[in-house]
């Protein structure tokens, strides 16, 4: 997927994305496929890539866009002759595969004809996983707060259950803009932008710290984290951190885990100073970007967005043991799968994995990591958010311009909220009282506020590249990061 278009080209945004990718030649700081390997080429990178072999990967992406293939992983830096040839080949191959994105999906990933029905899952190749991974009382992560309700890991996230830090926070919606390199502040009481401030290059997400005392802006290409004081919404001095695409916190608060997607690493850092403690390389997980944690807190399940582009073409997930800080299992998803956000079911038994190419959500048994089902939602399934009462899962179907509401109990789609005129709902969170689902409009220059009772949506104009929106404060005892995963 193209996450953002290079700054300085706002007049081109009305063009179809495949055409746009050709014109801009996927410039660094403008291609959401986190360009690997090589350093960012700078804001005028597109102007310097006019030779055929430099243009070829972008041609390949354009083909993917026309044929329905999203998530093309564009190479940056040492493009070379081989990358150019590969890009040209992709032009033909992506169409011959029938694409894999918005309108329909190809490969071995089977899906039902109608939304909400579970498909027969393809077999998943999985190494043995430690017994009891998903059991709530099995070998919990040392130092993790005890589980309050064995049937609901989100029991602490009820309305009004704020920590002292959350109580002191000013209620705001934070919208990072990957094009203007700003963060927009929305007053949720008026649905109006009240301020904005500059941060580092390509801010992807606004991430609440484990204790909620600070919000961190992950400046992906700026190699820094900008702290925000949630009491007044003001930014502080940036902290140097390499390649912070996303960030999570271990359930015991011992580490911040910086998802260094371009570098292919999970960096375990001091959660306060962000000093590097340990770096886990994950070459088997290209495009590592989103994750969630097992109920006992010992394991982190992370998605590998671009794994389908290598080897057998299968999608992939990895399981990381947080005590040893090692990858202990790999999950193989069907061909052409592009896993995105991950969410654990309230009872801790099932991981839900959004798949942009399959247009739905895979169900993984949390103990065995076997694929046990699939729920068809809509094209470009991307973000996953539990309702405030933990009965439903909100799925942002980005390419369909809609939200699918999935029942945790029945695995059925119980409602679909379409955005009038279309849209691109992406990342965000539920309001503290549960009445509103806030999401960024990735390609539509807006933030969305969905009424969770009626599905009616309000659009709030923001910048040209909104992404990992954060609603703060949130109820709950501690934050696991991303845009506010609370437990």
| 191 and 290 fall within a common domain | yes
Domain membership flag for residue 104: no
| Residues 6+ away with beta carbon under 8 Å from 359 | 102, 104, 105, 111, 376, 377, 378, 379, 380, 381, 397, 399, 400
pLDDT band at 105 (very low <50, low <70, confident <90, very high): very low
What pLDDT was estimated at residue 60?
Answer: 36
Joined together, the tokens standing for residue 306 give: 């671009």
pLDDT band at 71 (very low <50, low <70, confident <90, very high): very low
pLDDT of residue 135: 58
Residues 259 and 352 in one domain: yes
- Count of domains for the chain: 2
User: How large is the average pLDDT for residues 309-316?
Assistant: 93
pLDDT of residue 201: 98
By three-state DSSP, how is residue 45 classified? Answer: helix
Gap between the Cα atoms of 215 and 203, Å rounded: 13
Average pLDDT of the segment spanning 450-478: 98
Judgement on whether residues 40 and 182 belong to the same structural domain of the protein: no
Q: What is the pLDDT of residues 143-201, one digit of tens each?
A: 999 999 989 999 999 999 999 999 999 999 999 999 999 999 999 999 999 999 999 99
397 and 371 Cβ atoms separated by less than 8 Å = no
* 204 and 85 belong to one structural domain: no
- On whether both 298 and 438 belong to a single domain, the answer is yes
Check residue 283 and give its pLDDT. Answer: 97
pLDDT bucket at 205, cuts 50 / 70 / 90: very high
Which whole-number Å values give the CA distances from 273 to 74, 258, 266, in the listed order?
33, 13, 17
CB 335 within 8 A of CB 108: yes
**262 in a structural domain:** yes
Tell which of 96, 113, 132 closes a domain: 96
- Of 75, 96, 117, the residue that ends a domain is 96
pLDDT over threshold 60, residue 111: no
User: For residue 330, what is the domain's CATH number?
Assistant: 2.130.10.10
What pLDDT, on a 0 to 100 scale, did the predictor assign at position 100?
A: 35
| 377 within 8 A of 404, measured Cβ to Cβ | yes
Domain span at 250: 155-472
Q: Is 241 contained in some domain?
A: yes
pLDDT in tens, 36-64: 222 222 322 322 222 222 333 333 333 33
pLDDT band at 137 (very low <50, low <70, confident <90, very high): low
In a domain, 118, yes or no: no
Residue 127 lies in a domain: no
Task: Determine the pLDDT at residue 118.
Answer: 47
**217 and 73 co-located in one domain:** no
Q: What are phi and psi of 208, to 5 degrees?
A: -70, 135
- Does 381 score more than 80 pLDDT? yes
The verdict on pTM exceeding 0.85 is no
User: What does each C-alpha distance from 316 to 65, 308, 345 come to in angstroms?
Assistant: 22, 7, 20
Q: Are residues 72 and 168 in the same domain?
A: no
Q: What value, to the nearest 5°, has the Cα angle with vertex 404 and ends 401 and 407? A: 175
Residue 5 falls inside a structural domain: no
16 pLDDT above the threshold of 90: no
pLDDT in tens, 231-271: 999 999 999 999 999 999 999 999 999 999 999 999 999 99
Report the pLDDT averaged over residues 350-368: 97
Q: Which of 68, 96, 124 is the last residue of a domain?
A: 96
What is the rounded average pLDDT of the residues 201-221? Answer: 98
- Are 384 and 264 contained in the same domain? yes
Q: Are residues 89 and 192 in the same domain?
A: no
Residue 181 shares a structural domain with residue 91: no
Please check whether residues 297 and 437 belong to one and the same domain. Answer: yes
| In-domain check, residue 140 | no
Question: Is 204 found in the same domain as 68?
Answer: no
């Amino acid at each position: 997927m193209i996450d953002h278009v290079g700054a300085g080209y706002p007049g081109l945004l009305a063009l179809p994305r495949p055409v746009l990718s050709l014109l801009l030649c996927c410039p660094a700081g403008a291609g959401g496929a986190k360009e690997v390997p090589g350093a960012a080429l700078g804001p005028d990178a597109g102007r310097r890539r006019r030779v055929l072999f430099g243009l070829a990967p972008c041609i390949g992406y354009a083909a993917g866009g026309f044929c329905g293939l999203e998530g093309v992983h564009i190479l940056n830096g040492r493009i070379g002759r081989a990358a150019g040839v590969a890009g040209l080949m992709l032009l033909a191959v992506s169409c011959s595969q029938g694409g894999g994105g918005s309108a329909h999906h190809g490969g071995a990933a089977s899906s039902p004809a109608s939304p909400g029905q579970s498909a027969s899952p393809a077999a998943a190749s999985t190494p043995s996983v430690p017994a009891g991974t998903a059991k709530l009382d099995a070998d919990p992560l040392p130092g993790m707060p005890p589980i309050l309700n064995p049937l609901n890991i989100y029991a602490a996230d009820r309305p009004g259950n704020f920590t002292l830090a959350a109580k002191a926070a000013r209620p705001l919606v934070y919208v990072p803009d990957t094009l203007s390199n700003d963060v927009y502040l929305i007053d949720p009481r008026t649905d109006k932008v009240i301020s904005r401030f500059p941060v580092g290059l390509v801010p992807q997400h606004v991430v609440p710290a484990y204790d909620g005392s600070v919000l961190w802006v992950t400046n992906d290409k700026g190699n820094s984290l900008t702290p925000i004081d949630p009491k007044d919404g003001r930014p502080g001095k940036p902290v140097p951190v390499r390649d912070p695409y996303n960030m999570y916190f271990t359930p015991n608060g011992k580490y911040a885990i910086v998802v260094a997607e371009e570098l292919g690493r999970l960096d375990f850092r001091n959660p306060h100073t962000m000093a590097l403690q340990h770096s886990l390389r994950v070459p088997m997980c290209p495009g590592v970007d989103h994750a969630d944690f097992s109920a006992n807190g010992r394991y982190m399940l992370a998605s590998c967005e671009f794994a389908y582009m290598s080897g057998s073409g299968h999608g992939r997930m990895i399981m990381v043991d947080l005590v040893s800080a090692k990858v202990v299992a790999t999950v193989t998803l069907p061909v052409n799968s592009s896993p995105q956000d991950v969410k654990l079911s309230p009872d801790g038994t099932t991981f839900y994995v959004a798949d942009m190419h399959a247009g739905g959500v895979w169900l993984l048994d949390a103990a065995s990591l076997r694929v046990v089902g699939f729920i068809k939602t809509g094209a470009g399934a991307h973000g996953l958010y539990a309702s405030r009462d933990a009965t439903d899962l909100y799925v942002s179907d980005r390419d369909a311009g809609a939200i699918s509401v999935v029942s945790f109990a029945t695995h059925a789609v119980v409602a679909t909220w379409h955005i009038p005129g279309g849209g691109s709902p992406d990342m965000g969170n539920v309001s503290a009282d549960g009445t509103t689902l806030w999401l960024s409009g990735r390609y539509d220059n807006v933030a969305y506020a969905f009424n969770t009772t009626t599905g009616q949506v309000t659009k709030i104009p923001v910048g040209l590249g909104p992404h990992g929106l954060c609603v703060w404060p949130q109820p709950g005892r501690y934050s696991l990061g991303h845009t506010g995963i609370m437990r």
